[in-house]
Chains A and B, each alone.
Chain A
Amino acid sequence: MSGLVLEAASVRLGPRTVLNGVSCALAAGELLGIIGPNGAGKSTLLRVLAGLLRPHAGSVRLDGRELQAWPPAERARRIGYLPQSAPVHWPLDVRTVVELGRLPWQHGWFSVDEAAPAAIAAALRDAEVEDLQGRLVDELSGGERTRVMIARLLAADPTILLADEPVAALDAYHQLHAMEMLAERAARGTAVAVVLHDLSLAARFCDRVLVLDHGAVVACGKAREVLQPPILEPVYGVRMRVIDEEGVTAIIPWQRR
């Protein structure tokens, strides 16, 4: 089966079981939202999908082949991962950071990455950061920085994009901007998984939603079917109000139970 498939994966960090028998699949062209309360295991799940953590039970397969069996460079060309707090350790400018996104194509002594200039130009354009090229990443606003990081992901032209809370610290404008970029990428055939806290954004942009709680999958399916109070309320411990108007759903966490 193509895409990224997780089967009955369990992860222990020290004595704690962080993921417990989680199965899910990420297929080309879909935007999967991963939601759940703090500590539910969302980031761990994404790290497993990215190959950063190896589950102690169960399996992760990329295009039918065990993820850990892929050569690192090839895996890196297929899967792009944006960690929650994406650090930049030197005063690098925007263009350099986006260029670093091409590294998966530049492994080995004599590899020539002929597609780089076009891919970098396209990534800068798609993420709308062309005007920022010469600026230092450390001096950007949160929204600009997120767009640069997404451009870095896009530069490698991956078939799978994993983003851990890319919009958590952004204002409404930049939240929409970032989500639109990811949705547009999914529409073009990329498989995208995003960890989200904002349930309304999940309802609006995600094709499917996976709900995690205490390391286990509570529900996984079409956004419309999963984002319902009977499923969400016990997970979050919060009463939800759902406003459904002309096909647009807003989910408002209303009151602690």
Chain B
Amino acid sequence: MRLQVERLLLPALLLALVLGGVLALDTGSAGALLGQAFGDWATGRESTAQLILWEIRVPRALAALAVGATLGIAGAALQGMLRNPLAEPGLVGASSCAALGAVLVLYFGLAPLHSLLLPAAGVAGAVAALALLRALVGDHARVATLILAGVALNAFAAAAIALALNLAPSPYAMHEIVYWLMGSVANRSYAELVFCLPFMLLSVLLLASARGYLEALSLGEDTAHTLGFGARSLPWRVMGGVAIGVGAAVAISGTISFVGLVVPHLLRPLVGYRPGRLLLPSALGGALLVLLADVLVQRVPGAGELKLGVVTSLLGAPVFLAIVLGARSRIT
């Protein structure tokens, strides 16, 4: 039974992604135009519909997919390493430091200088967070020390962001920072995507290469060590993968919370709770969740557009609460 579910999981997620992709491309402020755009393409006619599809909707959908996949796999890897279903990629401080990097660019009004300055600052923030973490805990990191240092880093970045808001040079800058922090994949350019994708790819490769380590860790650190996964570089490989991936994701979209927490948690029973086998489904599931949340953002009737980060939080918080209640009923 479980094996059947596991075998069907990836095809099912891929199918859902294709359907979700079609839905996303057919969604937007200009209404449904997928059919028209393809008709125009088939007849070789240039049209506004094609322009909207290729210049606005495709990059937007790709950004949603990339951000979701990275957050999903990062969450699964981190939960596996910490052996804790409530761990979240934000925990290691990478996402808040990435946000801080981007906020600084907005604060000093540098964003208009170059379109890649914002994502570059985001990635730089995440990498700086990782370097700082390494300097803080040293080579012989135990997982608990890593997390405490990450929490400290998080607190620092949050305080610095609050300070930037507090001292914002103009209401415009403040407005921009707040909007960016809410998270969105609207109006993303191919240039931004091309800049961030290599980082995301590197992150996925790093995390996928640690899947044996994550599997072994489910039997404890000592057993993992004696199963051949005792190298001191392994926790750093996971931390590095998470930080780089989350940094790149934040650089594209601002902070999108709960995806890295909820997606692995929901999919875990379907892969028999094996942390290594959870990685790929979590990437696909994360991509699907962010893509659909972005469709929801655009389709909810009302004034203006909701921000993606707000919607994922609205969806994620109840799931988180359900997990907590479930855990409580198991304990008592």
Hey, which bits of chain A sit against chain B, CB under 8 A?
47, 50-52, 72-77, 79-81, 83, 86-93, 96-97, 100-101, 103-104, 106-107, 109, 152, 156
Contact = CB atoms under 8 A, between A and B. Distances in A.
Nearest to B220: A87
B274 A83 contact: no
A52 B226 contact: yes
B219 A89 contact: yes
B218 interface: yes
Given A72-B231, A74-B228, A88-B219, 18 more contacts: A51-B225, A52-B225, A52-B226, A72-B230, A73-B228, A75-B228, A79-B226, A83-B223, A86-B223, A89-B219, A92-B273, A96-B274, A103-B215, A103-B216, A104-B227, A107-B212, A152-B219, A156-B227
A103 B228 contact: yes
A72 B229 contact: yes
A90 B230 contact: no
B209 interface: yes
- Scoring A52, A83, A90, A156 by chain B CB atoms within 10 A of each residue's CB, the highest score goes to A90
Contact of B230 (A51, A100, A101, A152): A51
B226 A76 contact: yes
- Scoring B212, B227, B268 by chain A CB atoms within 10 A of each residue's CB, the highest score goes to B227
Interface in B265-286: 268, 272-275
B222 A76 contact: no
Interface of B: 83, 209, 212, 215-220, 222-223, 225-231, 268, 272-275
Contacts of B273: 90-92, 96
B218 A92 contact: yes
A51 B222 CA distance: 10
5 contacts: A72-B228, A79-B226, A88-B219, A90-B275, A104-B228
Contacts of B220: 83, 86-87, 89
A51 B220 CA distance: 15
- Scoring B209, B216, B223, B230 by chain A CB atoms within 10 A of each residue's CB, the highest score goes to B223
Contact of B216 (A77, A96, A100): A100
Nearest to B278: A90
A86 B228 contact: no
A83 B227 CA distance: 12
A93 B217 contact: no
B147 to A, nearest CB: 15
Contacts of A100: 215-216, 218-219, 227
A81 B226 contact: yes
Contacts of B222: 47, 52, 81, 83
Nearest to B227: A103
A109 B230 contact: no
Nearest to B1: A134
Nearest to A77: B228
A109 to B, nearest CB: 7
A198 to B, nearest CB: 23
Nearest to A91: B273
A106 B217 CA distance: 15
A109 B212 CA distance: 10
Contacts of B227: 76, 100-101, 103-104, 156
Contact of A103 (B83, B212, B231, B275): B212
B314 to A, nearest CB: 29
A79 B222 CA distance: 13
Contacts of B212: 103, 106-107
Contacts of A51: 225-226, 230
B223 A89 contact: no
Contacts of B209: 109
A244 B20 CA distance: 77
Contacts of A104: 227-228
B141 to A, nearest CB: 17
Contacts of A101: 227
Nearest to B268: A90
B153 to A, nearest CB: 25
Contacts of A107: 212, 228
A138 to B, nearest CB: 11
Contacts of B219: 86-89, 97, 100, 152
A103 B224 CA distance: 9
Nearest to A97: B219
A80 B272 CA distance: 24
A52 B222 CA distance: 7
A113 to B, nearest CB: 11
A146 to B, nearest CB: 14
A76 B223 contact: no
Contacts of A72: 228-231
A194 to B, nearest CB: 16
A104 B213 CA distance: 10
Contact of B83 (A76, A77, A89, A109): A89
